[in-house]
Chain A
Amino acid sequence: MSVFIGLLSSFLMALGLFFAFASVVGLIRFPDVYTRVHAGTKALSGGAMLILIGVAVRAPSWQGTVKSVLIALFFLATNPLASHAISRACYRHGIAPYGTVLDEYGEAMEDRT
């Protein structure tokens, strides 16, 4: 049983590590702020979730499990808010999205002013 738990948590953590690595690569390679926020939000939150679940599976006491599940929940609740705040501030600051096909946000803002 403990071998199984160890294998499961190692697998989850390795997968999370891969996603975290991919998100860093995305942060470097993506062309503009908005696409980089995509990498930083989604790939990173998936990676962190998997690592935290792996920790929760392996934790020696119930306190550790509960705490890492709580951290995962807070992560999920706050990460989209942070990405929204960053991308919105960048847009209002006048940083144009790179190579866009369609920009209905800009049109809506022009309509209002």
Chain B
Amino acid sequence: MSFFKAGALWCSLMVLWISLTGRLDFGFLAVGIAVSTAVFRLVWRTFSPRHEGGRLESPRIGFARLMAFLCFVPCFLWDLLKATWEVSLLALAPKVDLHSGIIRVNSDVPDKSSLVFLANLITLTPGTLTLDADMSRHDLFVHVLDLRGLGTEAVRSDISDLEARIGRLFS
């Protein structure tokens, strides 16, 4: 783990402490420094790159990634709103007529953490919910709320769009 990454982790813990306590007195800050250091000692192994199974090198933080992230957040919030709206419409429709199904989607994201990220995003985008993931084969099992309305291929192409967006975020 590089010195820079360690500093970034410690500082973000400190920012979290300040925003949770909401006080800037000396006493509170001293306790925050102690707590941040303790938590840092406990969790830094999780953030350092592993060589077995996981990714080999940690991602770099650069301008391009920052821009990708800034474009990603509004897209994601818009998707979430759309998902909410569609489920609400289905719930309030005069007749509940659902043809749900579970499809298997093979993803080629490079490492496990972005696979988990992808699974979470699929759950929060319209009509789909991640049921399970096959970590060794990078398969996701996705439950689709209304398969007749969407179609299997449409769901697959939606998911590969999401994958491309995550690829820009992590690679």
Q: Which residues of A contact B (CB under 8 A)?
A: 18-19, 22-23, 25-26, 29-32, 34-35, 37-39, 41-43, 45-47, 49, 61-63, 66-67, 70, 76-77, 79-81, 83-84, 87-88, 91, 97-106, 108
By a beta-carbon cutoff of 8 Å, the part of chain B in contact with chain A is 16, 19-20, 22, 77, 80-81, 83-85, 87-88, 90-92, 96, 98-104, 119-120, 123-124, 126-127, 129-132, 134, 139, 141, 143, 145, 147-148, 152
Partner of B123, one of A43, A47, A80: A80
Which residue of chain A has its CB nearest to the CB of B99? A101
Residues of A within 8 A of B143 (CB): 34, 38, 87, 97
Pair B88/A87 contact, Cβ less than 8 Å: no
Residues of A near B127 (CB, < 8 A) are: 38
Main secondary structure of the interface of A (DSSP, over half): helix
Complex A-B, nearest 3 residue pairs according to Cβ-Cβ distance, in ascending order: A46-B84, A26-B91, A63-B22
A16 CB → nearest B CB, Å: 9
